[in-house]
């Protein structure tokens, strides 16, 4: 306490100056409209700048929650789009105009917990598993294209055989001719490219043509896969191969969507009857 009093006595002139200076500033601002207006405007600028910086930091800290919300919204939009596609296909095939609630696919959002792209056999690990409804054989996509196929599941995780795997084979179709072939990665070492094989050699394919899923495999039809960058690659006497640039950026995978085919069991049971009758 003694030291405090000695400090105040020693520097009392400075304290008195600060006090009287503050009072004089207050009186000037209070009694003069111009100074009052300038002070208010300056205060608003300072406070506004402070709030802007604060909100910027809050937005940065909440990026994870924002991304989660956007991914959830994308799931709902994708399900609605797919439902409309399936409904339109059904209506076109039976030539009626009645409204039908027809949804074949649902989507489970997941985060990528691990990913490899430079190996001969590449896999991903997702943070959703059997308790979330994930099963072996389900397709995995992003908002940009195809990712792979679920291989194994635990309660809380699932492993995915990446499209960048020599055993991955997905049915796709060309935009112009609607002929279908098989999307494979083969022995490529670059994660940006893949091959479409088994295209009949009489089909004329141009560079830049878009490639989509055909709907004959685990994936809904019409999912954009990539575009043709090289044509005329001979594959035997009757077929051609095409090199495409993939739409999926495997170097930048964060959120993915696991495709659940609600009719897959019915389809497989029916197809098993073919083998029984054969």
Is residue 97 in some structural domain? no
DSSP H helical ranges for the chain = 2-10, 12-31, 33-61, 63-94, 264-277
Each residue of 171-212: pLDDT tens digit?
999 988 888 899 999 766 689 999 999 888 888 888 999 999
- Residue 251 belongs to a domain: yes
Per-residue pLDDT at 60? 52
Inter-residue contact 203 to 235 (CB < 8 Å): no
**Whole-number Å distance between alpha carbons of 56 and 240:** 53
The answer to the question of residue 268 being in a domain is no
Answer yes or no: do 36 and 164 share one domain. Answer: no
Note whether residue 78 is domain-resident: no
Quick check: is 219 in a domain? yes
Contact between residue 182 and residue 195 where contact means Cβ atoms under 8 Å apart: no
Q: Are residues 51 and 111 in the same domain?
A: no
Weakly modelled stretches of the chain, pLDDT under 70:
1-9, 11-12, 15-17, 20-21, 24-30, 32-102, 187-189, 234-237, 276-278
The verdict on 244 and 177 lying in the same domain is yes
30: Cβ contacts below 8 Å, ≥ 6 apart: 36
Angle at 52 between CA 47 and CA 58, to 5 degrees: 125
Claim to verify: residue 52 and residue 111 sit in the same structural domain: no
- pLDDT of 177 reads 82
Structure token pair of residue 16: 């008195």
Question: Would you say residue 68 lies in a domain?
Answer: no
Domain total of the chain: 2
Asked whether residue 120 is assigned to any structural domain, the reply reads yes
Task: Give the pLDDT of residue 171.
Answer: 94
Verify that 251 and 126 share a domain, yes or no.
yes
Please check whether residues 143 and 254 belong to one and the same domain: yes
Same domain, 21 and 115: no
Together in a domain, 241 and 122: yes
CA gap 87, 81 in Å, rounded: 10
Q: Is residue 204 domain-shared with residue 123, that is, in the same domain?
A: yes
Distance, in Å, from the CA atom of 266 to the CA atom of 263, rounded to the nearest integer, reads 5
72 in any annotated domain? no
Residues 145 and 206 placed together within one structural domain of the fold: yes
Residue 144, domain CATH: 2.40.10.350
DSSP element (H, E) containing 139: strand 139-141
CA 13 to chain centre: 65
| Tokens standing for residue 189 | 């070492």
Please state the pTM of the whole predicted model. 0.66
pLDDT tens digits, 245-259: 999 999 888 889 999
Residues 53, 112 within the same domain: no
Interatomic CA distance for residues 51 and 188, integer angstroms: 51
Which residue segment(s) compose the domain that 22 sits in?
2-60
User: Is-contact 116 136, C-beta < 8 A?
Assistant: no
| Whether 31 and 160 share a structural domain | no
């Amino acid at each position: 306490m003694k030291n405090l009093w000695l400090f105040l006595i020693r520097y009392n002139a400075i304290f008195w100056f600060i006090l009287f200076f503050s009072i004089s500033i207050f009186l000037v601002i209070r009694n003069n409209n111009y100074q009052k207006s300038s002070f208010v405007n300056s205060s608003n600028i300072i406070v506004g700048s402070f709030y802007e910086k604060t909100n910027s930091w809050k937005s940065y800290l909440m990026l994870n929650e924002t991304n989660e919300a956007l991914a959830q919204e994308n799931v709902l939009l994708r399900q609605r789009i797919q439902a409309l596609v399936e409904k339109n296909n059904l209506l076109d095939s039976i030539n009626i105009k009645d409204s039908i609630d027809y949804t074949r696919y649902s989507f489970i959002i997941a985060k990528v917990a691990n990913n490899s792209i430079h190996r001969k056999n590449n896999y991903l690990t997702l943070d959703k598993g059997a308790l979330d409804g994930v099963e072996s054989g389900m397709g995995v996509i992003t908002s940009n294209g195809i990712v792979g196929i679920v291989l194994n599941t635990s309660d809380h995780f699932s492993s995915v055989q990446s499209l960048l795997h020599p055993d991955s084979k997905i049915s796709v179709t060309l935009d112009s001719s609607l002929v279908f072939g098989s999307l494979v990665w083969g022995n490529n070492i670059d994660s940006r490219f893949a091959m479409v094989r088994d295209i009949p050699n009489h089909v004329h394919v141009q560079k830049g043509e878009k490639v989509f899923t055909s709907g004959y495999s685990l994936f809904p039809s019409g999912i954009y896969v990539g575009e043709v960058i090289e044509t005329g690659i001979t594959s035997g006497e009757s077929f051609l191969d095409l090199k495409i640039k993939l739409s999926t950026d495997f170097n930048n995978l964060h959120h993915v969507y696991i495709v659940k085919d609600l009719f897959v069991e019915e389809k497989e049971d029916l197809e098993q009857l073919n083998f029984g009758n054969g």
